[in-house]
Amino acid sequence: MQNRLQAVLGPHESHYNKDIDQPIKHGNHERKIITMKKLFRSERDRKFTGLCGGLAEYFGIDSTLIRLIAIIVALGSVGTFLFVYVIASLIVPSDRSGSFTDNNHYYY
């Protein structure tokens, strides 16, 4: 099965292109790479569970700002936010690689 896929698509390395906007040509076919952002709990930027650090990396903002917003919301929500935070920390997976450069490429 893998050999058949490689015969159709070519070797994996020929499809890798860091420039997402550029289509990849392989024979008569042209493919675009779509990189999908995923939400993870951060292993590098964590205080408790890494959820705020992961949200900051996902949205591309400073984690201190996310933490300040979380504290303000937690104080105003009378415990509801703490429940949501714990549930989200259980659901959102941990980033084992330590960064978001894990090459999640999808072709169409």
Q: What is the pTM of this model?
A: 0.58
What are the φ/ψ torsions at residue 26 (nearest 5 degrees)?
-140, 105
What pLDDT score does 103 carry?
47
* Pair of tokens at residue 72: 């303000």
Name the token pair of 69.
Answer: 């917003």
Q: What is the pLDDT of residue 63?
A: 94
pLDDT tens by residue, 40-93: 999 888 899 999 999 999 999 999 999 999 999 999 998 899 999 999 999 999
